[in-house]
Structure 1
């Protein structure tokens, strides 16, 4: 385990170095961007959806996961956001390839994977929209420079550059349920580079997740209290070459339904990146992540503590080197290596729901790693661009163990699992044909894979009354997919896109029912998802309209112990999802917008015993400038107070975000 001292020293180094360098740099002719390398000519063949900064800064909830829901087909394991969900359930996926809480979508922030090294969930509460310039979502399997884990797609989050950031920014909001949201940021030029620091604090008494008709005296509001602070610095090394540093500290505390059902997550992340935009383009990246998680489970019958997952430390270390050599005007070659190492373990105490005393103590954990080489080439032939890439990954799962002892010290289990290792190859090919200036056709085929997380391998968990066992023998998930689509611009300011897709996820990891209120993680033969995705954008002067729709028909193919799932729909996989946002911007600082989101019915469980009904919600956002630097802002979430069911087991139901009003002020100085 990397020691706390080493983590702290590295974080201090990456935070301090760029500022010192920038102060030494005095060349005013060198301009830095703070970005990575540009898209290649072949990237559009795989289709993507862009979310711009205007949308990032005008979301009613102010939360990144709800903005990502603008891309129809994006989903977390449950419908709750990061105020009322258990953090370990906040995996991200696309194309109805759900079924468990781990991320099947690779989420990157400035090239750094954001998934928790142990659980695979995304710390959404630590990723604040105002720190970003844009988001690009590419659905479908990825490889090449995307790395392992992108079986459902890739979400690329890009930090705001100097032109996006005011010298000083401050916002303060007050909302329903005694909620508050405070954020502040400072940005300054340092030589030819810049440095920015920002912080945010969110807290609230929350809302009752249990319906009023079934609420118990022990039910409490889903209170939350989280904070994060980030520092980013960019400095030139030479003309066209820049050094980028980023540091992030965060902590998140939540209470879920019952008094004492508290969870927490925290992290200390740092990364260093060198980007060369010269004739030989280079993107070299290294990062470290230190994370922890705690969780207390309360019985829904005795209302006593039954499990205290009191400590789950984990560490992620990795990096990437991508090189784009000058190979000629018709070709664009990218090649490189990447690696990611994860380690973690859990410490938990099991309690009797009757006596409230500890009955057992558990300790489990292990290591996993991927080491990869990749190459991809784009070939432009007039209006036709062909692209193809291949990668080879060496993966390892090592040092796995599970130990359980009674309170008197008696060993109940002391399992040491065999190390595993293998090679996994993946590839993708695509074609983009630009028929006219306003019409392009694209097609792609790809494979990909995802390593099971340490959480899936070694950590059992309970969402009362259902207990789910881990499975140290899980196989790697492997995806094969094809898609075809077009993008058309029928008029100035209007764009439309459509994609047909077929994805098959072999050895998909699911929570398989093996007994009454008992499940175990296991590999089903496959999850097959096929469907269509539509997107549209239009700009009419000061009015813009954007929308998307996804139809996903997903089925499980299963045999053996999981044969009862054959032909069923994967858990937490809606067939229909749609959204639309209308925004009116009469001036630079005045905004009025409304967003509608629809999610179709989906099954809570693998056996289709419990249905979560469809939900249609509406949000509103309004901003009125009071002075050149101050704006009054109002936000409304779930305007019609739609009942959104997020969990259902028998008669036990949890609800999502109700109607919430926000009022606040924004200050910005340049």
Structure 2
């Protein structure tokens, strides 16, 4: 019996949100009086600039391959989903091609630079400085990240040091919320498509004294499209139904002239059905964080957060169409924080010193069911605790046209409390395995240089290393995509990356930028789903995955015309030895060797935005043995925002307008498909 009932979930969420709302309101009222009572208060108010952001970006960041997306690009995607926004960045990749309407949430891992191979994220995703990966699975709750409330997105490729660098194996994706000055008092949108599906979002962002608050929400629902090809549908086949909602409350208030308090609360829920009736999944979460940012002579950034997540999933037999596995509850908790200090050591240096800590815990609960009788055959439970304590130091040194940057990080990683237990149908214990504690210290580093040869040309180079712990999911939770079973592996080691890159930044004229980066990355002990038998796989550490490639970027803004393009070509392969020797030279699963995106936009007047995005993703393999191919795919998306008067606009969107067939899964000819042609129309206010 699942004791985490909908009623208890609702009560818990309401209690958390109510308490957080009261705390935010109280802090805002105390720290941000609506009226200055005397001349000193008035002068004090006039000197304060509340941004809602973290500390300014360091001068050494341009030494690494990076891309920044501005708000106008973020809110102009054809699907209105954050994964679609990120797909415009060369090297960004989800584990599968399906989006967050038509995939299992546990497959929503993201990575950069063709360093894939399993569904866990190898890139660090931050929202206002807080890691967003699920504490148990490592996937990103994409539906909870509304593009409408984001101000900027920064993607930095390559292994990371600095805060939370222990999760930045392939790079870092920093999502930064929009402030009240970007959102205005009220923003809202309502759209529908030809299948009768709807997307609603709204945000209220009032100025409160010297601070501000943002209350935002989003709701998506639809009967979904057919993910099963017509000739493979059975009586039990259904569309990919989905419904998701999220609610966020964020407040920012000044504590003094150069210190501000930022607080955030987020609750979300996502329900989906995939392929067959009854093949339902649900994910939900309640997150909260507090952040103090000081911008005085001694700058600092102090952050604390807590996350409560849950996941449920039902597996349906593809032959008898009855439940065979009920993963009814996977509660997980994440807590952590960081402290970063930037002492004043002169204008030429930006020194960062700090520490961070993360703890993830969770428990899998599932019931195995006979496909023939419908009776329970076994009850299983597994879980554990992972923790990472990190210390980091990084310095940027400016010497005229030359900028040098270097950093080092030490991580104390601990895997503990791991177990796997079974009971029979009546609940009598039948077995239990407790796994040994693993602990280690790992030192990672990064360094780079950028030299401006002229106003138009700069050269750069960097080298780095990175670390990623195995997730609780990889260590302890087996899973089934019927009929293929993938076993967990409690003996997994942490992944370690070493890499280097060199690049050029060309700015021949104002509004025109071209970038070229060549890279060579190697992930030792890469975790992959390795095939043991026809319908059996296990998570294992491969000796290494090597990835070499070239990234190209282009940005042109001239008059009413805007062009943004990116391209990634890579040669990614498994370095197999010993038990993995038969995989030597194979390309990692779900990893294309070519991807490109090009967006041509027009801004013919105030409030107008017209855009067409052409994307191509090369062929990739479903599995590690290169036995099933996912064909290359090219899609065209369209977007139009047409002002109607005042703050109102008409929005028209078209996903996959040429109705390209997108194969997202291929297991021996059994296929899933991605989004077909989808046409949206609706209204926006204030964006």
- What TM-score results when the alignment is normalised by the length of structure 2? 0.95
Structure 1 match to 2:27: 21
Counterpart check, 1:648 vs 2:666: yes
CA contact (8 A) 1:11 1:270 kept: no
Instruction: Decide which of 602, 625, 631 is 1:613's aligned counterpart.
Output: 631
Kindly state the Cα deviation for residue 559 of structure 1 after the two structures are TM-superposed.
Answer: 2.4
Instruction: Decide which of 629, 633, 657 is 2:651's aligned counterpart.
Output: 633
> Counterparts of 1:445-464 in structure 2 under 5 Å?
445-464=463-482
> Counterparts of 1:219-618 in structure 2 under 5 Å?
219-618=237-636
CA distance in 2, matches of 1:591, 1:631: 10
Pick closer, same or farther for the CA change 1:281–1:12 going to 2, 3 Å: farther
CA contact (8 A) 1:14 1:271 kept: no
Counterpart check, 1:165 vs 2:165: no
What secondary structure is seen at the aligned counterpart in 1 of 2:166?
coil
Counterpart check, 1:105 vs 2:111: no
Kindly state the Cα deviation for residue 176 of structure 1 after the two structures are TM-superposed.
Answer: 2.6
What secondary structure is seen at the aligned counterpart in 1 of 2:56?
coil
CA distance in 2, matches of 1:474, 1:605: 20
Counterpart check, 1:663 vs 2:669: no
CA contact (8 A) 2:183 2:686 kept: no
What secondary structure is seen at the aligned counterpart in 2 of 1:148?
helix
Deviations 1:569-614 (A, max 9, x none): 0001100000011111112211111111110000000000000000
CA distance in 1, matches of 2:593, 2:403: 33
CA distance in 2, matches of 1:6, 1:181: 26
Deviations 1:376-405 (A, max 9, x none): 111112211111110111010010010111
Pick closer, same or farther for the CA change 1:340–1:308 going to 2, 3 Å: same
What secondary structure is seen at the aligned counterpart in 2 of 1:561?
helix
Kindly state the Cα deviation for residue 11 of structure 1 after the two structures are TM-superposed.
Answer: 5.5
Pick closer, same or farther for the CA change 1:12–1:426 going to 2, 3 Å: farther
Kindly state the Cα deviation for residue 476 of structure 1 after the two structures are TM-superposed.
Answer: 0.6
Deviations 1:5-43 (A, max 9, x none): 999776555433332232242353122000101111111
CA contact (8 A) 1:358 1:407 kept: yes
CA contact (8 A) 1:209 1:221 kept: yes
> Counterparts of 1:111-126 in structure 2 under 5 Å?
111-126=129-144
Kindly state the Cα deviation for residue 158 of structure 1 after the two structures are TM-superposed.
Answer: 0.2
> 4+ residue stretches of structure 1 with deviation over 6 A?
2-10
CA distance in 2, matches of 1:585, 1:210: 39
CA distance in 1, matches of 2:293, 2:548: 38
Counterpart check, 1:63 vs 2:67: no
Kindly state the Cα deviation for residue 567 of structure 1 after the two structures are TM-superposed.
Answer: 1.1
Count of equivalent residues: 668
Aligned-residue RMSD, C-alpha: 1.5
- Mind listing any 5+ residue stretches in structure 1 that lack a counterpart? none
CA distance in 1, matches of 2:339, 2:50: 20
CA contact (8 A) 2:379 2:427 kept: no
- What TM-score results when the alignment is normalised by the length of structure 1? 0.98
CA distance in 2, matches of 1:412, 1:466: 25
CA contact (8 A) 1:547 1:580 kept: yes
CA distance in 1, matches of 2:216, 2:14: 19
- Mind listing any 5+ residue stretches in structure 2 that lack a counterpart? 34-40
CA distance in 1, matches of 2:584, 2:439: 30
